[in-house]
Amino acid sequence: MLDALTVAVAVTALALAAWCGFAAYRDQPTKDWHFIGMAVVSVLALAQLVVGIVQLARGERPDQGMTIFIAYLIGAAAAVPAAGFLSLTERTRWGSVTVAAGAVVLAVLEVRLYDIWGN
């Protein structure tokens, strides 16, 4: 369950990065549709946070320690919303670049999360 979500978040995050990167390439700010895309990725990351905590509550333990696991889960859930807020106040192509960078950071966090959880 958790691994499936990790893969799903990573893939959607990369798609979001490509989409916003394309908007930046065309010299456009983030539009409503981009924010819907960000919402989808953020909901998946939030679901991952909940599932991760439920797995911990069930007594399963991540390979590389619980503190690091929880820290990365929170970071993953916060990454795209934070970049989205920055792009709200930067209505140029650079707002799109920021969201694309945020989505790439999220994808990297997911790779690390996969290692941290292990099993």
Partner 1 sequence: MSDTDRTGAPAPQHETPDRQQRFELGSGPGRVLVWFYGVFTVAAASRSIVEMILDFGKAPLAYVLSAVAAIVYGFITYSLVRGGEKARKAALMCCAAELAGVLVVGTWTRLEPSAFPDSTVWSEFGMGYLFIPVILPVTGMIWLRRARNA
Note the residues at the interface with partner 1 (CB under 8 A): 65, 67-68, 71, 75, 79, 82-83, 86-87, 90, 92, 94-95, 97-98, 101-102, 105, 108
The two structure tokens encoding residue 71: 């820290």
Closest approach of partner 1 to the CB of residue 40, in Å: 20
Q: CB 4 → partner 1: shortest distance, Å?
A: 25
Distances (CA, A) of 27 to 17, 92, 93, 111: 15, 7, 5, 30
**Cα atoms found within 13 Å of the Cα of residue 119, Cβ hemisphere only:** 11
Tell me the closest approach of the beta carbon of residue 90 to partner 1, in angstroms.
4
Task: Output 26 or 58, the one with its CB closest to partner 1.
Answer: 26
From CA 43, how far away is CA 117, in angstroms rounded? 20
